[in-house]
Amino acid sequence: MLKILDRYIIKTFFGPFFFIFSVLFFIFIVNIIWIQLGQFMGKGLSYWQIMKLLFYLGVSVISMVLPLTILLASIMSFGEFGERYELAAMKAAGISLTRVMMPLLGVTIIMSIILYFFSNNIIPDFQRKAKNMLFNIAQTKPALNFTPGQFIDQIPGNMVKFDKITGENDENIEGVFVHKKASSYDNQQTIVAKRGKFVPAANKNYLKLVLYDGYVYDDNFAGKGENVRLKQPDQAIKFDSLTSHFDVSEIINKAIEEEKITDDYRFQTFNELNKTIEKAKTDNDRFFTNVNNDVLNQTNSVISYMDSKQNRAKAKAKPIIKLDTVKKEKKLEIIKNAYDRLESLKSTLEGKNNELDPGIKYYNKVVIYQQRIVTYSFTCIIFFLIGASLGSIIRKGGMGLPVIIAIVIFIIFYVINVGFENMAWSGKINPYLAAWIPNIVLFPFGVWMTYKALTDSQLFDAEKYKAALKPVTKLFVKNKEHQRYQ
């Protein structure tokens, strides 16, 4: 059961935690908007669709936002404890720093476990929704499949038939029949035209159709009695050119939500990624085997060719002969042919290497993505150790020095993360090791910082460093003391 002190420490921690998490989440979302801005502009998207897409994209950044939030919140909360002399009061009451850190360490471990399950079960689903939505938005064309000579009801509220469809983008139509769907007691409208053309509309939610040389038939049934309806009062209007707009927003909305991409590794859980990794490894091994056999066959062909040429030369010359003793013209021919075959073998190897690179890169990407589901959870714990230790040593709260130090630490983590990721993609380092190196580097630093905090180290005491550097600084500072004239 939590004690009063534990509840106070947790409450103090979650104050800056929620504020920092909101700010960082907003910053990451703004970054996403800036990157994806070109796909939003001019697409006729509603605010709800844009907000939904940003939500899908934003969920995936939580795995990066949470560790940084824990780092900042722990520095600020323990810095406030030190700045308000609460840490000193706790130590005077016999409460060690380890005891103070324990409730927040437990909270951090719980958040790390939640982050693992969140990254493993929820983020892949939202990744799939986001990528499909981005892909569908990029298409911007409603999925209308018209078949010549058939009645089609894909356009909401209308039944259409086109006798002939031509053009590079199926924009030209002939023999147009458009009937507005209505009950027997509503007004009826039918449009018949010899030809027409689909034209891009200003609003992407509408389909613009320009018709030429036709008639509009209106039957005014609405609100009329039975006798009037039996007479079928109607009117026919002839036109040379008629422009109609059809609302296809429902089709576009369904198309935007449609999931056409399903085979991306980022849509998979940790266990599903194991199968993908195994398959990629098997494909690469099979490719390696084929390349090795191909190269060996070509190499043996070159060697056999050189041997046969030398044997022929020996058969025509004396019983014991070396290549140096062959006639100059024949020697040049043998060397030239061997050189050509070696160049061909070299070109083959370069081509196989270019084919091999994508397979290696894909395998390494999948491994790193899978391992990060686990590594980012451990990063939360490491960042807490670093942040709590730094906060208790610095004894400064607020948004000043703690934020600067936290940003520097996160930049170091990010640079290590991206640097070794690129090395793994190029095959220079094992991808499993590359995914864990940032934690391997920062964990000893976190343990060392915790030790310094527990021993009340004056790690950031400026006076301590001034005293250590005083012998050096005296060499560059003139003695200003007044000297009496002799």
- The four Cα atoms 25, 31, 33, 34 give a dihedral, to 10 degrees, of 160
Q: Specify if 180 maps to a domain.
A: yes
Query: Which residues does residue 192 pair with via DSSP β-bridges, in sequence order?
Result: 177, 215
Residue 323 has pLDDT above 60, yes or no: no
Residue 225 CA to residue 231 CA, distance in Å, equals 10
Among 216, 247, 278, the domain-final residue is 247
> Given this model, what pLDDT does residue 383 score?
92
Condensed to tens digits (0 to 9), the pLDDT of residues 332-364 reads: 666 777 677 677 767 766 666 666 667 788 888
> Given this model, what pLDDT does residue 113 score?
94
pLDDT-based confidence at residue 485 (cuts at 50, 70, 90):
very low
Tokens of 229: 């309806």
**C-beta of residue 56 within 8 angstroms of C-beta of residue 129:** yes
Residue 374 has pLDDT above 60, yes or no: yes
Query: Which residues does residue 242 pair with via DSSP β-bridges, in sequence order?
Result: 211
Q: Specify if 78 maps to a domain.
A: yes
Residue 89 CA to residue 473 CA, distance in Å, equals 38
Residue 168 CA to residue 234 CA, distance in Å, equals 38
- Which CA distances in Å does 337 have to 46, 179, 307, 309, 331? 68, 76, 12, 10, 10
pLDDT-based confidence at residue 231 (cuts at 50, 70, 90):
low
Region 296-310: what's the mean pLDDT?
Answer: 57
**Three-state secondary-structure class, residue 270:** helix
Min mean pLDDT across 112-116, 139-143, 207-211 is at 139-143
pLDDT-based confidence at residue 416 (cuts at 50, 70, 90):
very high
Task: Give the chain's mean pLDDT.
Answer: 76
Q: Is 176 found in the same domain as 130?
A: no
Q: Specify if 279 maps to a domain.
A: yes
pLDDT-based confidence at residue 319 (cuts at 50, 70, 90):
very low
Q: Is 215 found in the same domain as 91?
A: no
- Which CA distances in Å does 387 have to 101, 142, 379, 384, 466? 11, 51, 12, 5, 25
- Quickly list H helices, 200-248: 226-231
Residue 27 CA to residue 445 CA, distance in Å, equals 28
Residue 26 has pLDDT above 60, yes or no: yes
Q: How many domains does the chain have?
A: 3
What percent of the chain shows pLDDT beyond 70?
Answer: 66
> Given this model, what pLDDT does residue 351 score?
65
Which has more pLDDT, 293 or 484? 293
> Given this model, what pLDDT does residue 276 score?
87
Q: Is 384 found in the same domain as 356?
A: no
Q: Specify if 486 maps to a domain.
A: no
Residue 112 has pLDDT above 90, yes or no: yes
Condensed to tens digits (0 to 9), the pLDDT of residues 142-163 reads: 445 667 877 777 677 778 888 8
Residue 19 CA to residue 12 CA, distance in Å, equals 12
**C-beta of residue 221 within 8 angstroms of C-beta of residue 257:** no
pLDDT-based confidence at residue 1 (cuts at 50, 70, 90):
very low
Among 337, 368, 399, the domain-final residue is 368
Q: Is 389 found in the same domain as 363?
A: no
Among 329, 346, 368, the domain-final residue is 368
- Which CA distances in Å does 339 have to 292, 301, 303, 442? 21, 13, 11, 53
Q: Is 241 found in the same domain as 273?
A: no
Which has more pLDDT, 424 or 251? 424
Condensed to tens digits (0 to 9), the pLDDT of residues 241-271 reads: 888 877 766 656 665 556 666 677 888 888 8
Q: Specify if 484 maps to a domain.
A: no
Residue 335 CA to residue 332 CA, distance in Å, equals 5
φ/ψ of 390, rounded to 5, equals -65, -40
Residue 433 has pLDDT above 60, yes or no: yes
Q: Specify if 308 maps to a domain.
A: yes
Q: In what order do the strands lie in the sheet with 234-247?
A: 158-166, 172-180, 188-199, 206-219, 234-247
Q: Is 382 found in the same domain as 299?
A: no
What percent of the chain shows pLDDT beyond 90?
Answer: 10
Q: Is 283 found in the same domain as 201?
A: no
Q: Specify if 411 maps to a domain.
A: yes
Region 123-130: what's the mean pLDDT?
Answer: 85
- Which CA distances in Å does 431 have to 274, 308, 421? 14, 46, 8
> Given this model, what pLDDT does residue 380 score?
93
Break the chain down into helix, strand, coil percent, rounded to 5: 65, 10, 20
> Given this model, what pLDDT does residue 486 score?
45
Q: Is 71 found in the same domain as 167?
A: no
Residue 168 CA to residue 171 CA, distance in Å, equals 7
Residue 202 has pLDDT above 50, yes or no: yes
Q: Specify if 335 maps to a domain.
A: yes
- Quickly list H helices, 1-61: 4-40, 47-59
Q: Is 298 found in the same domain as 214?
A: no
φ/ψ of 45, rounded to 5, equals -80, 145
Beta carbons within 8 Å of 200's beta carbon, 6+ residues apart: 208
Tokens of 439: 């934690």
Condensed to tens digits (0 to 9), the pLDDT of residues 53-99 reads: 788 888 888 888 999 999 999 988 888 888 888 888 888 888 888 88
Q: Is 120 found in the same domain as 29?
A: yes
**Domain that residue 190 falls in:** 158-247
